[in-house]
A and B are shown apart, each in its own frame.
Chain A
Amino acid sequence: EDQVTQSPEALRLQEGESSSLNCSYTVSGLRGLFWYRQDPGKGPEFLFTLYSAGEEKEKERLKATLTKKESFLHITAPKPEDSATYLCAVRTQGGSEKLVFGKGTKLTVNP
């Protein structure tokens, strides 16, 4: 069964303190890995898609990387407005290629 595990479940950072979120997956053939940001009371907002090991994508203070077994979302010099839950989802070769989501990492950045 396809599985997506995100760690840590929650992370508290001071403003400017860089860190990384992890998304590890066990799937039958990866067809894409997606990162979303979700603010309280809102729907997930698309950030990045990664397709192959070694691929990297950047947006402002966020950088997503992909290996054969996991993805990292690096946050450089975070600001309080980066506080949100970050969701990882994978699309696999198996079944109907539906997105399988992790449970997310709740990031809090204190000023």
Chain B
Amino acid sequence: DAGVIQSPRHEVTEMGQEVTLRCKPISGHDYLFWYRQTMMRGLELLIYFNNNVPIDDSGMPEDRFSAKMPNASFSTLKIQPSEPRDSAVYFCASATGFRQPQHFGDGTRLSIL
């Protein structure tokens, strides 16, 4: 089975530009999670969806961040406008249930210059 697929794997852009990260969860997984990983703070949950509906976005750092899940096989995380402090690795994960093990994609390494 294909795992969680994220794109792009790397993104380098200038401050102020819009950035869109994409995720395709594992088929049949009802939960989708977006995380951010930095050296200073480790892995932090940004937002999660259940059956395409956002359930908890309390981890989204600012209004510059937004996430959508238009259907069961696709989600986006958008940053507009981007800032250098947004530089991090962003992971998407999916699970069959909220309390079940989460399966992670290989992440998008984002660098904002």
Q: Do A and B come from one complex?
A: yes
List chain A positions with a Cβ less than 8 A from chain B. Answer: 31-32, 34, 36, 41-46, 49, 87, 89, 91, 96-99, 101-104
> CB within 8 A of B99: which of A44, A91, A101?
A91
A-B pair number, CB within 8 angstroms? 44
Verify B42–A104 contact, CB threshold 8 A: yes
Verify B42–A96 contact, CB threshold 8 A: no
Known: A43-B104, A46-B102, A49-B101. A99 touches B45 (CB 8 A): yes
Verify B99–A97 contact, CB threshold 8 A: yes
CB-defined A-B contacts under 8 Å, sample of 24: A31-B99, A32-B99, A36-B104, A41-B107, A42-B106, A42-B107, A43-B4, A43-B91, A43-B93, A43-B104, A44-B43, A45-B104, A49-B101, A87-B42, A87-B43, A91-B99, A96-B55, A96-B58, A98-B45, A99-B45, A99-B102, A101-B42, A101-B44, A102-B42
